[in-house]
Amino acid sequence: MQIVELDIKLPYEGRGKILSRLYGTVRGRIRDIHFFPPDAEGMSEIKMEVVEDNAPKLLSDLKKIVRGGKITFKVLSEV
């Protein structure tokens, strides 16, 4: 198991619809989450820490959900 930090930048418009699909994917594995307000260009940011067995598969699943945004991840620790 790994603790992975996800940094998700997505358009503020339609954020609720995307967030509900994100939550359905990572439900029960979230350790910490922070929501940041949108910037001048209308992009909001979400940082979350997730406990995950297969981080590359999670990243590919999330990229399918967040099409208009950008996702970066970093492995914080191996459990």
State the number of CA atoms in the 13 A half-sphere of 68 facing the CB. Answer: 12
pLDDT of residue 14: 80
Residue 51 pLDDT greater than 90, yes or no? yes
Q: Which whole number is the average pLDDT over 69-79?
A: 88
Q: How far is 56 from 28, CA to CA, in rounded Å?
A: 18
- pLDDT of residue 29 exceeding 80, the answer is yes
